[in-house]
Amino acid sequence: MNQYDLNLILNPNLSAEQLQTEKDYIEGAVKGAGAEISNLEDVGNRRMAYAVGKDREGYYLLYTIRASGNPEKAIASSLRLRDHVRRVLVVKDRPEWKTKKA
């Protein structure tokens, strides 16, 4: 099984109920693509480098998922259809990126 990083930026003006609905949908989309969530880092509202849809801030969610095959396109395409999702990035985690400096 391969490990992937799923990074999402959501609308910063979501209520707690709307945020939980989005998290549930994301979990369903990941499981629907045949992957499992191993870690979720809820960063919260952060200022972005540039405005996206007239918003200078975004709500960041960083998932670590494990999947066999290539689920990147299936996950990203289903999440991009949501109204509150601003950006989606799915990246395959590579072991050489975690080397320690001497």
Domain segments of the chain as ranges: 2-93
Instruction: Find, among 48, 25, 47, 27, the residue nearest to 37 by Cα.
Output: 27
Cα–Cα separations (whole angstroms), residue 93 to 30, 44, 85, 88:
16, 23, 22, 16
In CATH, the architecture of 2-93 is 2-Layer Sandwich (3.30)
Sign of CA dihedral 28, 34, 38, 43: negative
Under the banding of pLDDT at 50, 70 and 90, the label for residue 94 is confident
**Predicted TM-score (pTM) of this structure:** 0.86
Q: Where are the alpha helices (DSSP H) in 1-102?
A: 16-32, 72-79
Q: Check pLDDT > 60 for residue 102.
A: no
Q: Can you tell me the distance from the alpha carbon of 83 to that of 34, in angstroms, rounded to the nearest whole number? A: 23
Q: Give per-residue pLDDT as tens, 5-55.
A: 999 999 999 999 999 999 999 999 999 999 999 999 999 999 999 998 888
